Amino acid sequence: MRQSLLRAILLLCTVLLVACGTHAGDSATRLPGAGMQTAGSEAVAGTKTPPTGATKVGSTDATGVPAPPQPTGIAISATSEPTAISGPEGTGTLTAPAPTSTLPPATGSLRIRQWGYSQSEAYTEVSWGFLISNQDRASAVLDTAYVLTFVDDTGQTIKVDEGYIDIIMPDAEIGVGGSTFLPQGAIARSMRVDLRPGRLAQPPIRPAIAVENIAYFERSLFPIATGVVSAVFDRPVEDVRVYAVGFDRNDAIVGGGSVFLPFILPGQPIGVEVSISGAGQPSRIELYPVITSATVHADEMALLNPRPAAVTIEKQGWGAVAASGEIGWAFLLQNPSDTLAAEPVFYQVTAWSADGRVLATNTSAIPVLLPGELLGVGGSVFAPDGVAPDRVDIQILDPSWEKLNATAGMLPVSNVQLVPDVLTPRATGVVTNGLDVDLGSVAVFAVGYDASGAIIGGGLATIETLPARGEATVDVALAVGGEPARVELYAALSSSSQIP
């Protein structure tokens, strides 16, 4: 149980770090890794007067030899073209680029075919990407380090950045993308990529992962690339890293980014959203899904510890907030076991357009779902400007199961009131701490319903401090599609370790 919880915390921290490094997309509500510990309390409107093209990685089945992945790209009508030149011919920024050195020498079975970057001179962030291939047809390369060196006009090194690629499959080419922050006022005039290769080994697992329906959305602050990811495998593929690489009209690399996708269920496509910065809009985006060492570890644990039951989504729904682009969503999650606690429960919310493009995603985890618990979770995402959502899907990964001497209802919510408002309706309530310990950062989820009982959205607020055997008021803003008739509130523990 503790190992599963530690993995949840580590993955959530990794997701947050990647999001910070690559400017994660706009979101009105970001769910913390918190679990529900009480039956829902509700308020009914009127009952009280309120105050106020596919990229293949690996084989086509779970046991075949993986084929080299061909990146899936989408052409984009560029309104402005980044003026950066990619390696091996040269790199640069918005000003005339200085020539860079030729490709670094081959290192073992690894080859770098192309690299590049762009930097707006108004910012210190450099967005970069490179293409790397494994020439060995039989062995994967594990634990490869890459070193990025940025040089200014005078030839002085202004920043050295480093990263790792856990696994490069046999006879495969992948793209790697990200961003680096330079010292204040520094301008990069060239970039170099060097490798410290790891070791050769047989591929530990061979899932076939594909990406299709790639789209690019030019948001005002944080542009995103999205796609639909699927896997051919006989069990879930977990902890996949998805890289984005952007190209200009001359096919020069002008930027990139990456994100962790916590799971891909067999036969169930899932959305991915990658922030990609740079000095302008790319003409083409390619996405590369790559398994990681965490993928291998999760697969080993799943085989050693079969999951005896599955949590179920009892009800779900969503609504588009008028004239805002915000999409509210909520769902009810049930633990069917009377004796076992589920922890953690990873979930992802994906908003889709009518033509199958991914508009937005929200990924998080519920650290613990107590025996017999019914949990309500709500939040919101933002669709790109001018694109209407057609549907919202919610997917969950079956958790690990452990015995826990606890029952649901430790954080009851009372005196729930619905506060109508034309723009932002709200829900208020009082959360009581039934434990003998002070609690911090208690998440309170809202689930909104219309008059017919359908879920039309949700929301989230946080109580900073909830004293032992004490109580605190909460006020939750609702993102709903229409006028809510009633609302339920659910308070959440952040981990089973808070239970004495």
pLDDT of 187-203, one tens digit each?
999 999 999 988 999 99
In this model, does residue 18 exceed pLDDT 50?
Answer: no
For residue 377, the model assigns a pLDDT of: 98
| Residue entry with tokens 């690299």 | 115
Which of 69-83, 113-127, 228-242, 355-369 has the lowest average pLDDT? 69-83
Distance, CA of 451 to CA of 460 (rounded, Å): 22
Q: How confident is the model at residue 8 (pLDDT cuts 50, 70, 90)?
A: low
For residue 212, the model assigns a pLDDT of: 97
In this model, does residue 68 exceed pLDDT 50?
Answer: no
Please give the C-alpha separations between residue 89 and each of 84, 190, 199, 286, in angstroms, as whole numbers. 11, 11, 30, 21
In this model, does residue 55 exceed pLDDT 60?
Answer: no
Q: What is the pTM of this model?
A: 0.81
Task: Decide the pairing of beta strands 110-118 and 157-168.
Answer: unpaired
For residue 74, the model assigns a pLDDT of: 52
Give 446-472 pLDDT, tens digit per residue: 999 999 999 999 999 999 999 999 999
For residue 307, the model assigns a pLDDT of: 74
Average predicted confidence (pLDDT) for the chain: 82
The helix (run of H) or strand (run of E) holding residue 16 is: helix 2-22
In this model, does residue 173 exceed pLDDT 90?
Answer: yes
Q: What percent of the chain has pLDDT over 70?
A: 77
Phi, psi of 87 (to 5 degrees): -70, 160
Distance, CA of 414 to CA of 158 (rounded, Å): 57
Contacts of 87 (CB under 8 A, 6+ apart): 100, 103, 112, 114, 115, 116, 130, 191, 192, 193, 253
- Interior/surface letters 80-102, b for 16+ CB within 10 angstroms, e for the rest: ebbbbbbbbebbbbbeebbebee
Mean pLDDT of 302-307: 84
Q: How confident is the model at residue 60 (pLDDT cuts 50, 70, 90)?
A: very low
Query: Is residue 473 within 8 Å of residue 50, measured between CB atoms?
Result: no
Q: What is the DSSP string of 333-362?
A: EE---SSEEE--EEEEEEEE-TTS-EEEEE
Distance, CA of 413 to CA of 40 (rounded, Å): 7
CA angle 350, 245, 278 (to 5 degrees): 95
For residue 218, the model assigns a pLDDT of: 87
Please give the C-alpha separations between residue 324 and each of 23, 341, 420, in angstroms, as whole numbers. 21, 39, 18
| Overall residue count recorded for the chain in this entry | 500
Distance, CA of 103 to CA of 97 (rounded, Å): 17
| Residue entry with tokens 């057609």 | 390
The helix (run of H) or strand (run of E) holding residue 295 is: helix 293-304
Give 416-444 pLDDT, tens digit per residue: 999 998 889 999 999 999 889 998 889 99
Range list of β-strands (E), 101-183: 110-118, 125-134, 140-151, 157-168, 173-181
Q: What is the DSSP letter of 497?
A: G
In this model, does residue 248 exceed pLDDT 80?
Answer: yes
Q: What percent of the chain has pLDDT over 90?
A: 61
Q: From 400, 370, 387, select the one nearest 38 (Cα to Cα).
A: 370
For residue 280, the model assigns a pLDDT of: 72
For residue 56, the model assigns a pLDDT of: 34
In 3-state terms, the chain is what percent helix, strand and coil (to 5)?
Answer: 5, 50, 45
Other Cβ atoms closer than 10 A to 153: 12
Query: Is residue 478 within 8 Å of residue 461, measured between CB atoms?
Result: no
Distance, CA of 357 to CA of 7 (rounded, Å): 31
Q: How confident is the model at residue 367 (pLDDT cuts 50, 70, 90)?
A: confident
Which of 99-108, 187-196, 317-326, 329-338 has the lowest average pLDDT? 99-108
For residue 23, the model assigns a pLDDT of: 41
Residue with the larger pLDDT of the pair 308 and 390: 390
Query: Is residue 296 within 8 Å of residue 205, measured between CB atoms?
Result: yes
Residue with the larger pLDDT of the pair 454 and 43: 454
- Interior/surface letters 4-30, b for 16+ CB within 10 angstroms, e for the rest: bbebbbebbebbeebbebbbbbbbbbe
In this model, does residue 388 exceed pLDDT 80?
Answer: yes
For residue 152, the model assigns a pLDDT of: 95
For residue 346, the model assigns a pLDDT of: 95
For residue 42, the model assigns a pLDDT of: 57
Which of 65-74, 380-389, 421-430 has the lowest average pLDDT? 65-74
Residue with the larger pLDDT of the pair 118 and 78: 118
